[in-house]
Copies of this chain bind each other. A is one copy, B any other.
Amino acid sequence: MSDATDPQNALTLLGRRVVQSIIEGSFPTLEIPDRSTENIVFDPDQRQFVLGGSRVVRNSSNIRHVKSFAQLLWTAYFAKELLKASRTSSLRDLYYSSEAFGVKFTDQSESDRVVTDLESLIGLAREDFGVFPEEHSSVYGQVTMRYTVPGYDGREVELTVSPDGLPIGPALMTAEPVRTGAEIVLAVESGGMFGRLIETRAWERFKAILVQLGGQPPRSTRRLLRRFHEVLGLPVYIFTDGDPWGMHIAQVIITGSANAAHVRGLTVPDAKWIGVTPADINNYSLPTEQMNDADLKRLDELTQDLRYTGSIWQEHIRGFRELRRKAEQQAFSRYGMDYVVDTYLPDKLH
């Protein structure tokens, strides 16, 4: 790892800069890339959202900045302690730990925001310094992963070891894909579909690594998808509910979220949304529900969204607008337990 991308080094450099200012007798100042929506642009080279050049200054000589300056430095200290001890922490734990140091956060959403400040300041993801959300999604398939966490370093695990799948926690997220018998990655929205594809041995039939997203997936899951794609060279297909929310889960995996525009290595620009598309709803005569106001409002928002300018996406949006109806992945159960595996997926993955 180069200096800039090694988290310990990045944090040490940050500390040195602050100390250096103090030694020189001046108030330390930090410049954080501005994460407001006005500073988010689509980078056609990286094919993802990135932050523009605008910066926010935290000046420790400004009384209104002192609190957030101190919070940021304490968070950097806490991150360094985690790395030194090879520990991880949940965002919630970090919030509570601050009490011990007399660093006051109003609530967890404030400490979460300061963690994001630190991310954009040193250009690394919180997972790089051991901070994770509590929720996980799961993975199953013919891949061997090699753990890098203490106590398991170098140990290999087959992702078929548990027929319930393995959670994508801190250990699996940082593990190295070693080898695979799979030819594609199939990410599915619901836990029910994930379970069905495991027990019907669809993973064998489609030579697929299965990833359960569980709604809008945590970053750890998006990062693992990216690594399967990059390291193992596998194409990624996304199978979600047939509604604006399901479509947007796919979009975020493909081109990134505004919230994580300062983080690299989370997107899979070549991933494909296979459905449930509005065309599928018609072609497979799926049972549907009427869209509610929130669905229609979301559709309006996506129409204005830069990420949806491509003609395929425009067609999907048009399709949903005309239908004004939506269908879940489970809707295929109408045709029997195995229809999705025997008919729909072979059609769409062809």
Contact = CB atoms under 8 A, between A and B. Distances in A.
A157 interface: yes
A239 to B, nearest CB: 15
A89 B170 contact: no
Interface in A120-165: 132, 134-136, 138, 147, 149-152, 157, 161-165
A93 B193 CA distance: 8
Nearest to A82: B337
Interface in A89-107: 89-90, 92-93, 95-97, 99-100
A166 B162 contact: yes
Interface stretch (A19-27, A195-203, A273-281, A318-326): A195-203
A333 interface: yes
Interface residues of A, number: 55
Given A93-B196, A161-B162, A330-B96, A87 B337 contact: yes
A242 B161 CA distance: 36
Interface in A183-240: 190-192, 195-196, 199-201
B330 A192 contact: no
A48 B149 CA distance: 42
The residue in A85, A152, A172, A337 that gathers the most chain B C-beta atoms within 10 A of its C-beta is: A337
A328 interface: yes
B171 A163 contact: yes
Contact of A335 (B95, B100, B150, B190): B100
Contacts of A172: 162, 164
Contacts of A334: 96-97, 99-100
A81 interface: yes
Number of copies: 2
A57 to B, nearest CB: 31
A336 interface: yes
A92 B164 contact: no
The residue in A81, A86, A132, A191 that gathers the most chain B C-beta atoms within 10 A of its C-beta is: A191
A236 to B, nearest CB: 22
A167 B169 contact: no
Contact of A167 (B88, B167, B328, B335): B167
A166 B169 contact: no
B333 A99 contact: yes
Interface of A: 81-82, 85-90, 92-93, 95-97, 99-100, 132, 134-136, 138, 147, 149-152, 157, 161-172, 190-192, 195-196, 199-201, 287, 328, 330-331, 333-337
Given A152-B163, A165-B169, 8 more contacts: A87-B199, A87-B337, A90-B195, A96-B334, A99-B287, A136-B191, A138-B167, A166-B166
16 contacts: A81-B337, A82-B337, A90-B190, A90-B330, A93-B333, A95-B330, A96-B333, A99-B334, A134-B190, A134-B191, A151-B201, A157-B161, A161-B162, A162-B171, A163-B170, A164-B172
